[in-house]
């Protein structure tokens, strides 16, 4: 405890300008466990989500710039289930109002991207308006340019009305799919199907082939890659400093 506190406190205190004891201490295993916990539905991860989203601004912003802790915030911004969006409103507001402080960090840019994806259109516009003041700085870095492309910043800047309409259509489509899959009961194999379990209790041939091939519909519980949709910038490895 003393060794970790001294090391983390000294580094965090020097970077944040505060007392060393107030520095952020991040453990590899603990952050991985919390990140995994936050991928569970809100009903199961409620306590963890509220704990993360209620962090004061100073440690929260330090976490957003940390290569490991930032992944926990990204997971919190993607926690599924009714009630999750309301629970992370304080987190969203802190990130939007401090966007200019996060754009200098590669990890911070990924957190901003996750915050954008988890926001309604009006809040997305507020975030882009906040980023507009740091446009030159963003375009001067690889991670900043990647963030601008991901958020379609040029489209927003040139045609804000068209951008808003496109975002609203995309949001309605996501909401429709979410409702569809939430209402869809678990699929049962048809009578006589070869997917039934074998005599020894193992899975049938079709079931084994499905797992081996990695296939499955969105309703089967398969998740998108944690770094976002195809074409989104690749998330750096936590081993990188990500300053």
| C-alpha pair distances (Å), 49 with each of 55, 81, 103, 109, 161 | 10, 12, 24, 21, 34
Residue 225 is predicted with a pLDDT of 45
Helices first, then strands: H and E counts in the chain: 15, 0
Query: Model's pTM, two decimal places?
Result: 0.62
3-state DSSP of 180-232? HHHHCCCCCCCCCCCCCCCCCCCCCHHHHHHHHHCCCCHHHCCCCCCCCCCCC
Residue 14 is predicted with a pLDDT of 38
The crossing angle, in degrees rounded to 10, of helices 89-97 and 57-64 is 80
Nearest to 127 by CA among 119, 26, 76: 119
Residue 7 is predicted with a pLDDT of 42
Residue 168 is predicted with a pLDDT of 82
Residue 16 is predicted with a pLDDT of 39
pLDDT tens digits, residue range 189-208?
Answer: 455 545 444 454 455 554 44
Q: How far apart are CA 88 and CA 52, in angstroms?
A: 9
Residues of the chain with pLDDT under 50: 1-22, 185-187, 189, 193, 195-198, 200-201, 206-226, 242-243
Nearest to 107 by CA among 15, 37, 19, 187: 15
Nearest to 35 by CA among 54, 23, 49: 49
Residue 42 is predicted with a pLDDT of 94
């Amino acid at each position: 405890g003393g060794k970790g506190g001294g090391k983390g406190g000294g580094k965090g205190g020097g970077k944040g300008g505060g007392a060393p004891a107030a520095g952020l201490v991040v453990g590899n295993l603990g952050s991985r466990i919390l990140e995994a916990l936050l991928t569970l539905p809100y009903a199961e991860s409620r306590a963890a989500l509220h704990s993360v989203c209620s962090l004061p601004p100073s440690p929260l912003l330090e976490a957003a710039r940390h290569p490991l802790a930032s992944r926990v915030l990204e997971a919190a911004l993607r926690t599924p289930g009714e009630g999750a969006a309301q629970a992370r409103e304080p987190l969203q507001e802190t990130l939007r109002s401090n966007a200019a402080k996060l754009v200098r960090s590669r990890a911070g840019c990924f957190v901003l991207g996750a915050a954008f994806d988890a926001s309604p259109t009006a809040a997305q516009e507020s975030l882009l308006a906040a980023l507009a003041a740091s446009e030159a700085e963003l375009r001067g870095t690889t991670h900043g340019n990647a963030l601008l492309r991901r958020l379609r910043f040029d489209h927003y800047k040139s045609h804000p009305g068209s951008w808003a309409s496109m975002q609203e259509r995309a949001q309605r489509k996501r909401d429709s799919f979410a409702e569809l899959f939430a209402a869809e009961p678990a699929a049962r194999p048809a009578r006589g199907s070869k997917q039934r379990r074998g005599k020894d209790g193992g899975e049938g041939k079709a079931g084994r082939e499905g797992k081996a091939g990695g296939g499955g519909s969105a309703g089967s519980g398969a998740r998108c890659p944690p770094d976002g949709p195809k074409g989104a910038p690749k998330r750096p490895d936590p081993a990188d400093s990500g300053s």
